[in-house]
Structure 1
Amino acid sequence: MFDNLSDKLDKALHILKGHGQITEINVAETLKEVRRALVDADVNYKIAKDFTARVKEKAIGENVLKSLKPGQLMVKLVKDELTELMGGDAAGINLSDSPSIILMSGLQGSGKTTFSGKLANYLKNKKTKKPLLVACDVYRPAAIDQLHVVGEQINVEVFSDRGNNDPVAIAKAGVAHAKANGNNVVIIDTAGRLAVDEAMMTEIENIHKAISPSETLFVVDSMTGQDAVNTAKAFNDVLNFDGVILTKLDGDTRGGAAISIKSVVNKPIKFIGTGEKMEAIDVFYPSRMADRILGMGDVVSLVERAQEQFDEEEARKLQKKIAKNQFGFDDFLKQIQQIKKMGNMKDLVGMIPGAGKMMKNMDIDDDAFKHIEAIIHSMTPAERAKPQIINASRKKRIGKGSGTSIQQVNQLLKQFDQMSKMMKMMQGGGGKRMMQMMGKMR
């Protein structure tokens, strides 16, 4: 996420490294590179220029943090301004009405239908809502089918009327269906076009007038950069929408849309899409995003994702198994599934401070666990429960069944044994003993 921009900002801010104080000369040199990095990321030139002018004004007149090194101070100033540029505080979603009607708008290919499903899944799980998805795209081939597939995937009802070609009528019928069936959130997926046109704008405006939505959200493909910002402005002029959704932030995005869209349309970014999975949706926190852009990671979001997958009852059962030395491969497989639900591996690594920079040239495979899962699935229930019974002939069978080598099977068994011993040691007072052992090893 924003790898190229992060690298360039890091190089720009390194100009101040070693300087004893901030001067107009070294600040100007640094901010020239910062401005260049922002423009390369497809941020509008005027926005980039105004941004660096504000940072310069604060840097020259800064007396509060004299104890910090100039480089550290400049990073803080850039981070604060980036946070402000992207909206300052996180913006909530209005769910005060019953049903709350959310109108999704955007161009074709922006990921609107998929994100409608992600938002429904998020509201169902996080806010304990009962959402209804309404299919109002009557033009794109298989658009209705796509929404039904998404609905089945997340176990959310989808309302559609294949015999009706009037999106306004379908939207109104969908809201009526929700009221009659106890759905307290209605998410209306509308049609997009390849470009902004009058027919599209008239249609979305008519739907908006007919249903009076609680929230109107504009979905934009973050990979389109400044074009996304221009499109958002055109939609906002007609709809006066409430917020922006940025999709495909896990792709090769330059970051221009995320950084500058708020200042152009004066509407907050509310959510971001960070992958293909239905769970790959995050509330947009400007401060956390600024941290990630500047290579500082995002530990808070990482912990939140981990907590979402944490099951206290399962954790208690696991502790008992570890204490009785009964931790097996089925338990290990459950832990892998929980990690995978947290998001793609590259995104998770990017949340760890410093790790993204260290591993930027490494190919982090999102299917990093596939060989491990294949090996475990090739074991019998008895072998998964008691790995110590796996002998040479069993290893050969497991390797053949999983499409891996005996060496890979041996490596997994060895790593599993080491991990089991460590987990056993961490039980009770073992954690203290382990820390003492590590202290002696220094």
Structure 2
Amino acid sequence: MFDNLSERLERSFKILKGEGKITEINVAETLKDVRRALLDADVNYKVAKTFTDTVKQKALGQNVLTAVKPSQLMVKIVHDELATLMGGETAELNLQGHPSVILMAGLNGAGKTTLSGKLALMLKTKKRKNPLLAACDIYRPAAIEQLKVLGEQIGIPVYSEPDNKDAVQIAQNAVKEAKAKGYDVVIVDTAGRLAVDEQMMQEIAAIKHGINPDETLFVVDAMTGQDAVNTAKEFNDRLDFDGVVLTKLDGDTRGGAALSIRTVVNKPIKFVGTGEKMEAIDQFHPSRMADRILGMGDIVSLVEKAQEQYDEEEARRLQKKIAKNQFDFNDFMSQIQQIKKMGNLKDLASMIPGVGKALKDVEIDDNAFKGIEAIIQSMTPRERTNPEILNTSRRQRIAKGSGTNIQEVNRLIKQFDQTRKMMKMVTGSKMGKMMANMPKIPGMPKMPKL
């Protein structure tokens, strides 16, 4: 996510390294490079120029403290302006209705149906809502079936009328169904449409008028870059939507849409899709995204993801076992499962300051724990509970049973012993209980000291 932009900006700031103060000349040179980096990331030209002009004005108006280097001050100014560019404050969903109605709109292939499911799951698990999905895409073959499959997968009901070809009526009936059966949120999935298709644009406008949604979200594929911004403007002119959702932000995207869209349509980015899993949706935080673009990591989001999987009762049980040095491979496996639920492994690791750069050319497969799991599953229940009995013959049997080799088994057992010792050291703090028990992600380089 934003890897190329991050690297280019880092190079730009090096121009100021070694400089004793900020001057018109060295600022102009730095910001010329910053502007190029933004344009290469597919940021709208006017947005990039206004951004660098604002940064220059603020940089030249600053007195550099002796304790702060010019390059550090420039990073701070650029960070604050990036956050402002992307909206400044985090934009919340408006869920005041009874039920609240969320209308999804966007182009063909933007990922509206999958995103509707992800949003429903997020509202169910994080906001304790009782959502209903409404299948109002009457054009795409199997669109209704796709939403039903997703709904079944995440345990959320889907309202549909397969024989009805009136999308407005289906949406209205879905809202009535929600009122009658006590659902507190209705997410209306609609057909993809082009802004130049007048009939389809009239239909989405009619759906909006017919259900009067609390939120209208424009779903756009981040990988379409500057075209995403232009399309958002055309849709906004017709729909006056409330917010934007960027999908596929985990792909090979240059980031231009995320940096331009707020300025061009004056509507906030509310959510971002960050992977294929149904849990891979995050609320958009401009300041945290600026942190990540500038290589500062995103510890707050990492902690929040850990807290979502944090179970107080389980933690107390583990704490007692750790204190008695009874932490075993069953507990180790349990921690692996919790980490996997937190999301994409490389994305998680890149939230730690300094690690994103180290991981730039490192591939971390989401199946990175597969070998570890196979080894643990090849142990007998007694071996998992009593790791100290794992002698050479047992290790050889485990290696054969898991399809690995004795070196990999020995490496895991050594890692397990190190984890056990580390957990005992940090077991006093709540954050330690959540984070320190994370097994090392296979393939990841050594973490820098924070």
TM-score range, shorter chain: over 0.9
Partner of residue 439, structure 1? none
Q: Give the Cα–Cα distance (whole angstroms) in 2 for the partners of residues 411 and 141 of structure 1.
A: 50
Q: Which runs of 5+ in 1 are unaligned?
A: 432-442
Pair 1:98–1:427, CA change in 2 (3 A): closer
Partner of residue 24, structure 2? 24
User: Cα deviation per residue 1:51-82 (whole Å; 9 max; x = unaligned)?
Assistant: 11111111112237565211011111111111
Partner of residue 360, structure 1? 360
Partner of residue 135, structure 2? 135
Matches within 5 A, 1:32-431: 32-63=32-63, 65=65, 67-193=67-193, 196-424=196-424, 426=426
Secondary structure at the residue paired with 1:227? Answer: helix
Residues 64 and 73 in structure 2, CA contact (< 8 A), matched pair in contact too: no
User: Cα deviation per residue 1:91-127 (whole Å; 9 max; x = unaligned)?
Assistant: 1110011100000011121111111111111111111
Letter in 2 for 1:239: L
Residues 219 and 246 in structure 1, CA contact (< 8 A), matched pair in contact too: yes
Q: Give the Cα–Cα distance (whole angstroms) in 1 for the partners of residues 226 and 427 of structure 2.
A: 53
Q: Give the Cα–Cα distance (whole angstroms) in 1 for the partners of residues 66 and 111 of structure 2.
A: 47
Secondary structure at the residue paired with 2:213? Answer: coil
User: Cα deviation per residue 1:239-277 (whole Å; 9 max; x = unaligned)?
Assistant: 000000011111111000000000000000011111112
Per the TM alignment, residue 326 of structure 1 is displaced from its structure 2 partner at its CA by 2.7
Residues 65 and 73 in structure 1, CA contact (< 8 A), matched pair in contact too: no
Per the TM alignment, residue 393 of structure 1 is displaced from its structure 2 partner at its CA by 4.1
Q: Give the Cα–Cα distance (whole angstroms) in 2 for the partners of residues 397 and 109 of structure 1.
A: 49
If the length of structure 1 is used for normalisation, what is the TM-score?
Answer: 0.93
Q: Give the Cα–Cα distance (whole angstroms) in 1 for the partners of residues 330 and 216 of structure 2.
A: 45
Q: Give the Cα–Cα distance (whole angstroms) in 1 for the partners of residues 238 and 416 of structure 2.
A: 59
Per the TM alignment, residue 388 of structure 1 is displaced from its structure 2 partner at its CA by 2.9
Higher deviation after alignment, 142-151 or 203-212: 142-151
CA RMSD of aligned residues (A): 1.8
Secondary structure at the residue paired with 2:288? Answer: helix
Letter in 2 for 1:210: G
Q: Give the Cα–Cα distance (whole angstroms) in 2 for the partners of residues 14 and 425 of structure 1.
A: 39
Q: Give the Cα–Cα distance (whole angstroms) in 1 for the partners of residues 195 and 141 of structure 2.
A: 17
Q: Give the Cα–Cα distance (whole angstroms) in 2 for the partners of residues 172 and 5 of structure 1.
A: 44
If the length of structure 2 is used for normalisation, what is the TM-score?
Answer: 0.92
Aligned residues with identical type, % of pairs: 71
Residues 107 and 196 in structure 1, CA contact (< 8 A), matched pair in contact too: no
Letter in 1 for 2:26: N
Q: Give the Cα–Cα distance (whole angstroms) in 1 for the partners of residues 363 and 200 of structure 2.
A: 41
Residues 131 and 187 in structure 1, CA contact (< 8 A), matched pair in contact too: yes
Per the TM alignment, residue 426 of structure 1 is displaced from its structure 2 partner at its CA by 4.9
User: Cα deviation per residue 1:268-317 (whole Å; 9 max; x = unaligned)?
Assistant: 00111111122211111111111111111111111111111110000011
Higher deviation after alignment, 308-317 or 385-394: 385-394
Per the TM alignment, residue 170 of structure 1 is displaced from its structure 2 partner at its CA by 1.1
Pair 1:374–1:298, CA change in 2 (3 A): same
Letter in 2 for 1:345: L
Q: Give the Cα–Cα distance (whole angstroms) in 2 for the partners of residues 428 and 349 of structure 1.
A: 24
Runs of 4+ in 1 over 4 A off after TM superposition: 64-67, 425-429
Pair 1:57–1:427, CA change in 2 (3 A): closer
Pair 1:428–1:167, CA change in 2 (3 A): closer
Residues 222 and 247 in structure 2, CA contact (< 8 A), matched pair in contact too: yes
How many equivalent residue pairs?
Answer: 430
Q: Give the Cα–Cα distance (whole angstroms) in 1 for the partners of residues 315 and 93 of structure 2.
A: 32
Q: Give the Cα–Cα distance (whole angstroms) in 2 for the partners of residues 196 and 11 of structure 1.
A: 41
Per the TM alignment, residue 389 of structure 1 is displaced from its structure 2 partner at its CA by 3.2
Higher deviation after alignment, 254-263 or 334-343: 334-343
Letter in 2 for 1:107: L
Residues 223 and 254 in structure 1, CA contact (< 8 A), matched pair in contact too: yes
Letter in 1 for 2:84: E
Residues 330 and 385 in structure 2, CA contact (< 8 A), matched pair in contact too: yes
Per the TM alignment, residue 5 of structure 1 is displaced from its structure 2 partner at its CA by 0.3
Residues 64 and 70 in structure 2, CA contact (< 8 A), matched pair in contact too: no
Residues 134 and 188 in structure 1, CA contact (< 8 A), matched pair in contact too: yes
